[in-house]
A and B are shown apart, each in its own frame.
Chain A
């Protein structure tokens, strides 16, 4: 038996394939598995009962959902939300965000997948606007629009003008965090459910209709159950993203969530007062997200992705809207989707304005903010850093992704699925966990080397990027390989070409577009990476020093929180820069390469 296995391996593998297996495997183990495993180590000193202290886990919440006050003619309605302690807060917020985002996502997906109406293409485009990257600054805009503050926020201002009453509604604290995250993340559900729905064989629905099912019943009994894989994948990702989102909590000043606590650890590291319980909190976050990952493992594996991406084989069914449907689409869905675009619109306005004080809208047109991106040394340094880190990371990722995907797609040896799992796992591991694991592992075991983030965060950041964004390239490459018949490679081997020759003359040219698209998307998401950038990146100095080591997103956060004059406008300008890069890449990939642009998610 064992000799048969050995013979089989000897036949299937050669030096190149071995390299293609062991390079990604070793890389993923050293730079993903080990740092994350050391979180266990760091949590070891604390008994888990610590986590049940009221600070972390509190069943008797403090604060209320809303407060209503009246002074003379002014009504103050403030939504804040009660606090259940760090851990419960994180779970509750993630659960509410996931449920609401799912509902909104399903509605938009269903309408776009099954109905035909005017301005449909516009709605499709509008629905992905919230996925344009504008970290921190979009939450800031949301706060300006509906958050608490002096005077009117935009919402109250609009309402007062409409009703004539002096009504001041604000969403602050946990409520603000929840709203921001719903707006930002619901397109992830929408895109996943949409692609599931487009992959349903139309005859399945036709058969049900043929048997007399229609309307909501048809949706409930056939369409919805068949699009469940997309919903599960999308919802699970939203849950993880909500859990690890640190932008909204920072902007809304919510410290009692896991993400903020871990972020805060790094703030403390700089001045040597890091809270030692953070290890236990990081472990908690890791366990929650790993549980979720196991749940969606099937939906996120490379193989599954390839199946999903084969969509469009058939003409999907499209019905016309009835009157009620039209009313619903034009008077409910469109306005809702427009609301979700407001943060991005606000970021644009902010970037081109002089100030946005206590007025309901920004004012004073200027382009000085863009000029200052180059002129302020610390800001420009951040842009350069991001470009450098992202470029190097993309280089590593292309190599890793090409190897791993090739092996997973072509090699029929048992145990290869491990590589598939490891390659897609970064999708589900919070960036903060990477940051914490990296800090703990490399600072402790490789102190004062290039790997030590406290010594110099540049290399650790590149490494984190190269792991976290790997799935974007590997799945694109994998999809390309799936569309390329294996006989094209076999005929090359058959003519006497070695594997490496076949790879470089046949395989790579054939999937060049997939590689290029994957690399460009990867680049975009490296540029916009936040969690590791603001934690590890923050260890290398801040914007005030012209030679700091932080990337764009760290600079953005610095600009917003430091209270610097016109800091938020500068941050918005950086946000616009990121969004423009992303839009350019979307256009190139979809219009010129005719490939699909993979947003976060399936």
Chain B
């Protein structure tokens, strides 16, 4: 895609703003961003349901920007599955093959294979209304996969499933994609889903791409505050940059930080420091993952049990209203009201300029 731009309402709503990127053959690529940021629009431009105001879309070396949807070899799985209620599972899945004039025997074979792949063998004669949500999802996937598209497009395919099924299907999709080595473009607003399933992720906001990278890159080395805060529930501390990797987060309390953003920082700049709860250690009880740590004294003011972990709210000593959250293994014996010393590795405290 190069310089894609799409506006609605006579230019007043910019849905997609100057997007350029390249997706590799066989890659699992995800657009991630909050609702309304332009993910669906981007996907629909790729599928050919919309055309961009500016820019082009290429499949391989071919410019398909103004090709009709049925002239591109893409296959989309819709958020609501869009299964045809008047056709059986078999007819739904075979539709694309019929359109492509694949022979009867070949059709049968391919539908059978794909239904096996998505674990729906034996359901051929059912109608969509006789299937559970998860099964409908699999039919939609099978219908898209069976035509061997050059790109598989998935628009929030798991959002209508319950939590447990969502995890299962996520794994399933990943496995199938790996097996078929099919280029896949995935859209979601769920950061955890994006991280776990993708080779690369493009984080979007307000129609723009904020950062593209592997899940690890986005998690450990976000280039912008938006990306850093988009994953998990990080602590965000206000502070003043003191130079040489030091930020003052409250009177007399300093923190060693890492600056990743390209803009750079000057002394006296206002900054936000992002620290993830899971990266904060507790002296003597939870080991820090790096030796270079900054120590701060605090008091446990609240403890919330969350199964495998416990979440601790630590008020910083001598600073009313300043606190951080820590995530620790739930078997660590910690009581509310306890005084302790926390350790923040400077490599995990990311400072972003407010400009």
Contact = CB atoms under 8 A, between A and B. Distances in A.
Chain B associates with chain A? yes
B68 A493 contact: yes
Nearest to B69: A493
A497 B49 contact: no
A521 to B, nearest CB: 23
A206 interface: no
**Residue in B47, B84, B85, B144 whose Cβ sees the most chain A Cβ within 10 Å:** B84
A234 B49 CA distance: 40
Contacts of A501: 99
Given A10-B66, A488-B84, A496 B78 contact: no
**Residue in A492, A493, A495, A510 whose Cβ sees the most chain B Cβ within 10 Å:** A495
Interface residues of B, number: 27
B169 to A, nearest CB: 18
15 contacts: A7-B66, A8-B51, A10-B66, A487-B82, A488-B82, A490-B78, A492-B84, A493-B48, A493-B69, A494-B76, A495-B143, A496-B100, A497-B95, A510-B84, A510-B85
Interface in B82-113: 82, 84-86, 95-96, 99-100
Given A487-B82, A488-B82, A510-B85, A494 B74 contact: yes
Contacts of B51: 7-8, 11
Interface string B246-257: 000000000000
Contacts of A505: 95
B140 to A, nearest CB: 8
A221 to B, nearest CB: 36
Contacts of B96: 495-497
Interface of B: 47-49, 51, 53, 66, 68-70, 73-76, 78-80, 82, 84-86, 95-96, 99-100, 143-144, 147
A509 interface: yes
B69 A498 contact: no
B75 A495 contact: yes
Nearest to A501: B99
Nearest to B86: A509
A485 B70 contact: no
The binding surface of chain B is classed by DSSP as loop
Nearest to B66: A11
A494 B66 contact: no
Given A496-B100, A497-B99, A501-B99, A490 B69 contact: yes
A494 B86 contact: no
Contacts of A485: 80, 82
Contacts of A494: 47-49, 69-70, 74-76
A7 B66 CA distance: 9
Contact of A495 (B49, B53, B68, B99): B99
Contacts of B74: 494
Contact of A496 (B66, B79, B85, B147): B147
Interface in A489-538: 490-499, 501, 505-506, 509-510
Given A491-B76, A491-B78, A496-B99, A510 B86 contact: yes
Interface in A1-53: 4, 7-8, 10-11, 14
B19 to A, nearest CB: 19
Contacts of B80: 485, 487
A11 B53 CA distance: 12
Contacts of A487: 78-80, 82
